[in-house]
Amino acid sequence: MSQLPNVIQLNSEQTSLIIDCEGKTPSVLYWGKSLSAASSVSMLRSLATRQEVKCAVVVEAPISLSPLSGEGFTGAPGIEISNDNSAWSLGGALISIKQQNAQSVEFVCVDNVRQIEITHKLHLDKQTNVLTASTAITNRTTAPLNVTWCAAPTIPLADNINKILSFEGRWSNEFLLNKVDLFLGSFLRENRKGKTSHDNFPGVVLYDEKTDEHNGDCYGFHLGWSGNHRTRVEHLPEGRNYVQLGELLMPGELILQANESYQSPNLYASFSDKGISGLSQNYHHFVRQNLIRPEVKNKPRPVHFNTWEGLYFDHDIETLKNLAKQVSELGIERFVLDDGWFKGRRGDAAGLGDWYVDKDIYPEGLGPLIEYVNSLGLEFGLWFEPEMVNPDSDLFRNHPDWVLATEGNEQLEFRNQLVLDLTNKEVTDYLFKVIDDILSEHPQIKYIKWDNNRDYNHPGNHLGKPAIHLQTLAFYQLIDNLKTKHPQVEIESCASGGGRIDYGVLSRTDRVWTSDSNDALDRLSIQRGCSIFFPSEIMGAHVGPRDCHITGRHISIEMRAAVAFFGHMGIEMDPRELTSEEKQALSEIISLHKKHRCLIHSGNLVRLNENPFSVDFGIVSEDRNHALFAYNSVNEVNRTNPGKYRFVGLAIDKVYQLNLIWPTDLKEYSPSVLRQIEGQVFTGEVLQQFGMQLPALFPQTSLIFELKAV
């Protein structure tokens, strides 16, 4: 066998990743800002020398790509397995390194005693600085191998990283950010709800205490998986830190027979020395280049009207046509018929699973409504919740054994529905057929809103086995099969809002429903948190009713519209409630959104640093010739005047014309800076470093500024 290299280096435009291969198993020696050719690996090794300390091992166990019990590692192993022999004490040695190109490498390690093979694949995207990494385990014995845990590659952290930014939340208030000091021991987040979840997003950001949105070192980690998951950040007693993410497997869920393999979900990791907004830009560029389909990327995102908060289950063809006519006059481009169109669906207690058009409401089927909507120049979309079933449905009455359940345990009630067992091929064959029948009968349907509205509390399949791993793969396969048959149909991932948003589902869908809350104040924090990993064009953002149906808050049309303006924009309300002034405002901002959506959906997001009084951010074009910035006042300031607004991210050597483009009619107590700056030109240097004095406005006021280089 030829001599293996003792080091592998992958480089992107801004980062270097160096894998040390001198030990028995590979480990990350360095990952961070790009190193010059003058900085050698031998220098790093010398500077990293650690000594034997009192009452400790002579040489510390490595934090390898999969740190192992067999290596003597006393932190969390990257792999936990068992069989009737000694698989639990897996060790292994590196036997193969395959490097197909300068950006990708594959390491193969084998434990010859236990006949188990471990493969790590790493790809560092040159342009976006995002590392995609996975771990695979193969059973080379003839005996079954029980896999309890197989994390994606474990990444050690630089010792200056001492802060954790995690994601929390609940239904209708997802992606809330929580800052935690790194501490001795493990920061551990686990999800057992069967889908990505509202409260436990599989991602974390690690950063230096001096880091903010625009400056400093930070690392992002996201597991692209839509099932159960675990995130661990650990500070070991000897001072080393590492991050480990993977699929959370249930007892006995994954057993590998002879020569079978399991591959972890992909870990998507990135480093930035330009603050957390710089990290987000890495991820946004990666999503745009690698996850969004070209045919979707190259088409302007249509402005939506969704019927849900306008009508709920109260469907009537003439009413729907009337609503379609009204919203088309506002500039809407896609009409999405939400829940309530199928057999027996007069509320949320019946009908799920019976995916046939309700002839009591639609005696001629959906055709006449679709044709009318299309005649107005609007695309047509349709809501499904394929993975769920109501007990009060023909499907459940005929197939009560088609649901996830555990023997002897009573099902917990949850929104009057149960979860279908997608690991049963009869179930997925049925679901494919009923959805395919509708799409084939109506090829004018260009869009599906794919919902999922309950947790998986009893996740046992028809074989009595834990099902989440196979259930998630079957969900992916069902989507893939439908997309293959109907490539023209875009699919939105919705799970009571933001309960299933991750790169695993995004690689198969085209949009996510960010949250069921259309409350503009809630949405500011939700969209800010979501924007850490996800760009604006995939985040569904709707102008909701005057009085929010979830929070009860009354928020002006101007602010509701300004917040929705910066996502994949839509409206979700009964347009019959609108006053003439509100209709005018909506028409204006929809027109404004269409004018600027190319920039909104392709530019670099720059979040301004957090403060308790406003949520502020900008979108800057790649060439920095054009930008939009938003100021969203949420609380009254505690001084007579607000502070300054700094337009971060502009080119300091360019000159910009500054204009307030929203709202079009702002009423002020007295003349402010807004009268002085309109249409004037300023250097990027003063706009960014000196800043603009903010006007004193009522709380819950949004301003949108446009800057053009002149």
Under a CB-based contact definition with an 8 Å cutoff, are residues 88 and 152 in contact? Answer: no
Q: How many helices (H) and strands (E) does the chain have?
A: 15, 38
Judged by DSSP in three states, 168 sits in strand
The residue written with tokens 């066998």 in the block is 1
Under a CB-based contact definition with an 8 Å cutoff, are residues 434 and 448 in contact? Answer: no
CA-to-CA distance for 490 and 483, rounded, in angstroms?
Answer: 8
Kindly report the backbone phi and psi dihedral angles of residue 460, in degrees, each rounded to the nearest multiple of 5, phi listed first.
-105, 135
- Give me the sign of the Cα torsion angle 500, 503, 505, 511: positive
Q: Could you confirm whether 451 is annotated as catalytic?
A: yes
CA-to-CA distance for 46 and 49, rounded, in angstroms?
Answer: 5
- Kindly compute the dihedral angle of the four CA atoms of residues 43, 48, 54, 60, in this order, to the nearest 10 degrees: -120
Contacts of 389 (CB under 8 A, 6+ apart): 352, 353, 395, 396, 402, 403, 417, 418, 419, 420
The residue written with tokens 């494919």 in the block is 432
Under a CB-based contact definition with an 8 Å cutoff, are residues 567 and 541 in contact? Answer: yes
Q: What Cα–Cα distance (Å) separates residue 384 from each residue in 18, 395, 491, 502, 515? A: 46, 15, 10, 20, 17
State the burial class of residue 653 (Cβ atoms within 10 Å of its Cβ: 0-12, 13-18, 19+).
exposed
Q: Can you list the alpha helix ranges (DSSP code H) found in 403-494?
A: 425-441, 468-485
The residue written with tokens 């040489």 in the block is 59
Nearest CA-CA partner of 529 in 350, 280, 351, 289 = 280
Q: Can you list the alpha helix ranges (DSSP code H) found in 14-162?
A: 41-47
The residue written with tokens 């088309």 in the block is 328
- The active-site residue out of 111, 125, 502, 516 is 516
CA-to-CA distance for 562 and 661, rounded, in angstroms?
Answer: 11
CA-to-CA distance for 2 and 393, rounded, in angstroms?
Answer: 64
Q: Could you confirm whether 437 is annotated as catalytic?
A: no
CA-to-CA distance for 639 and 451, rounded, in angstroms?
Answer: 45
- The active-site residue out of 111, 339, 358, 451 is 451
Quote the tokens at residue 230.
């675990």
State the burial class of residue 659 (Cβ atoms within 10 Å of its Cβ: 0-12, 13-18, 19+).
middle
* HSE-CB for 399 with a 13 A CA cutoff: 18
Under a CB-based contact definition with an 8 Å cutoff, are residues 462 and 403 in contact? Answer: no
State the burial class of residue 296 (Cβ atoms within 10 Å of its Cβ: 0-12, 13-18, 19+).
middle
Report which residue type is found at 107.
F
Which residues have a catalytic role annotated? 451, 516
